């Protein structure tokens, strides 16, 4: 009995250790896949304007192209993540991102930049982070999924805290082309080996269970390690939930929760993406230096770290809908304060409120999907949501650029984004989650 207890404790410890190691590696992949492109984009804005000319709309359109391609690609990626090797997919994503950064450093026309950003880099970033990382963490955690997703996506906020000022300094010192070469080096030399050597797709691959639950048990009087604890059919065969919970596209599209989550999250992403992209140009328009403006974005990201932990904990211990309402409300408050800000200090205060709410969005999105559809369909459902969210999500960045080009300020755009957050709060009020997560036995 003592031997069994010892081995049980060892397996449980191994599952916990491996699961949290996966979370830390996923945090790194989120840092690179989001930070090197999305958070750094604002720092490249005026350098690209200077080299290629064009308007704010013309420069910002690259992110819209990237969102469009990512959304179209997501359903295929989600299905592959649920059925294939997540490690192989993430490793290939790192290779594509590294190659994309090297190619983009050599472009001679702005449309070349947008083309590479919207193809190689868009696909590579989706495979390395985002959907892949969230699916991976959802596989490893159920009861602690909220806080696990919060820690994993801290890499996104950490990249915002670091990448805006770092990219600004690198561009000032070495130029934007060499900065992209440096991004390629980090992706290929550091991130790729870590992904390949450490990622394990599912706890069942090691004979373990999510959340560090029981990994071994006595079977027929022996002390052999068990197969993963899945329910047994009458004949004694293990039921494969990945196959039995086959959320087809038709079945998913008929579920009201799918559309409620998609619309509410898309409205948030629409506004959030535009604020993150245009906050540095907006700050410089107020007379703030480029270096100081970068720290406004860093403040948002820094508060996002706190938001991810806070809302990750709330999703595990409270009503996920209330967490979403709070996160959306804080972002709306932050945008309202940005509208009123006239100097550096007031803009920092506004960015703090916005960042706190922003930080909770991605872990809340993952937690809502997991609660509504279960971990065995997580990748497919999140992948199907992405193209459905595109018509709303992709409009924010170019809309803000268009408003500025026509009016000389972002005021109308920011007022519109406040309205979007309030609509998102109302939409999520219709969400009805099942009493137990599908697939949990």
Instruction: Write the pLDDT tens digit of every residue in 298-352.
Output: 888 889 889 988 888 888 777 888 999 999 999 999 999 998 888 888 999 999 9
Q: Which pair of tokens denotes residue 341?
A: 């800000």
pLDDT of residue 49: 78
Backbone angles phi, psi at 219, to 5 degrees: -140, 115
Distance CA 161, CA 184 (A): 20
Are 337 and 350 a contacting pair, CB within 8 Å? yes
pLDDT of residue 247: 57
Question: Structural domains in the chain?
Answer: 20-201+249-428 (1.20.1250.20)
pLDDT of residue 37: 87
Using 70 as the pLDDT threshold, list the residues of the chain that sit under it.
1-17, 54, 56, 212-248, 435-441
pLDDT of residue 64: 77
pLDDT of residue 155: 86
Distance CA 380, CA 424 (A): 23
Number of H helices, E strands in the chain: 21, 0
Could you please report the per-residue DSSP string of 369-429? HHHHH-GGGHHHHHHHHHHHHHHHHTTHHHHHHHHHHHHSSSHHHHHHHHHHHHHHHHHHT
Are 19 and 142 a contacting pair, CB within 8 Å? no
pLDDT of residue 266: 96
Could you please report the per-residue DSSP string of 68-101? HHHHHHHHHHHHHHHHS-HHHHHHHHHHHHHHHH
pLDDT of residue 437: 66
pLDDT of residue 440: 53
Distance CA 213, CA 227 (A): 13
Q: Is 222 helix (H, G, I), strand (E, B) or coil?
A: strand
Distance CA 332, CA 419 (A): 8
Distance CA 393, CA 271 (A): 8
Residues 6+ apart with CB under 8 A from 13: 212
CA of 370: how far to CAs of 157, 289, 364, 419, 424, in Å? 22, 43, 10, 28, 19
Helical residues (DSSP H) of 241-395, grouped into ranges: 241-244, 249-253, 256-285, 290-317, 320-340, 344-359, 361-373, 378-393
pLDDT of residue 56: 66
pLDDT of residue 120: 94
pTM for this predicted structure: 0.71
Q: What share of the chain is helix, strand, coil (3-state, %, to 5)?
A: 80, 0, 20
Q: What is the CA radius of gyration of the chain?
A: 22
Are 75 and 387 a contacting pair, CB within 8 Å? yes
């Amino acid at each position: 009995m003592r031997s069994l207890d010892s081995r049980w404790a060892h397996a449980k410890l191994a599952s916990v250790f491996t699961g949290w190691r996966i979370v830390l590696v996923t945090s790194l992949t989120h840092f690179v896949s989001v930070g090197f492109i999305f958070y750094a984009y604002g720092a490249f804005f005026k350098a690209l304007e200077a080299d290629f000319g064009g308007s704010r709309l013309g420069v910002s359109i690259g992110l819209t192209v990237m969102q469009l391609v990512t959304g179209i690609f997501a359903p295929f990626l989600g299905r592959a993540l649920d059925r294939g090797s997540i490690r192989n997919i993430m490793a290939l994503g790192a290779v594509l991102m590294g190659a994309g950064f090297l190619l983009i450093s050599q472009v001679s026309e702005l449309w070349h930049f947008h083309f590479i950003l919207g193809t190689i880099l868009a696909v590579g970033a989706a495979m390395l982070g985002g959907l892949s990382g969230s699916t991976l963490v959802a596989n490893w955690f159920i009861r602690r999924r909220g806080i696990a997703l919060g820690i994993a996506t801290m890499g996104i906020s950490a990249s915002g805290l670091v990448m805006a000022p770092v990219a600004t300094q690198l561009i000032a010192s070495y130029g934007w082309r060499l900065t992209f070469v440096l991004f390629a080096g980090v992706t290929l030399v550091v991130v790729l080996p870590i992904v390949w050597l450490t990622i394990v797709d599912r706890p069942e691959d090691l004979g373990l269970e999510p959340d560090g639950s029981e990994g071994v048990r006595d079977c027929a009087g022996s002390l052999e390690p068990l197969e993963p604890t899945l329910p047994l059919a009458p004949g004694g065969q293990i039921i494969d939930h990945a196959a039995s919970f086959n959320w087809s596209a038709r079945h998913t599209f008929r579920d009201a929760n799918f559309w409620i989550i998609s619309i509410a999250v898309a409205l948030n992403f629409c506004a959030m993406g535009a604020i993150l992209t245009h906050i540095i140009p907006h700050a410089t328009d107020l007379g703030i230096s480029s270096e100081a403006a970068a720290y406004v974005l860093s403040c948002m990201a820094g508060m996002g770290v706190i938001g991810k932990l806070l809302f990750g904990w709330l999703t595990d211990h409270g009503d996920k809908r209330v967490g979403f309402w709070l996160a959306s409300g804080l972002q709306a408050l932050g945008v309202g304060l940005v509208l009123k800000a006239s100097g550096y200090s007031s803009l920092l205060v506004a960015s703090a409120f916005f960042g706190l709410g922003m930080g909770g969005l991605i872990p809340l999105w993952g937690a809502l999907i997991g609660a509504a559809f279960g971990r065995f369909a997580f990748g497919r459902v999140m992948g199907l949501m992405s193209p459905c969210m595109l018509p709303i999500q992709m409009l924010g960045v170019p809309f803000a650029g268009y408003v500025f080009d026509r009016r000389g300020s972002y005021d109308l755009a920011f007022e519109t984004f406040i309205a979007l957050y309030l609509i998102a709060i109302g939409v999520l009020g219709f969400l009805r989650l099942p009493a137990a997560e599908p697939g949990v036995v």
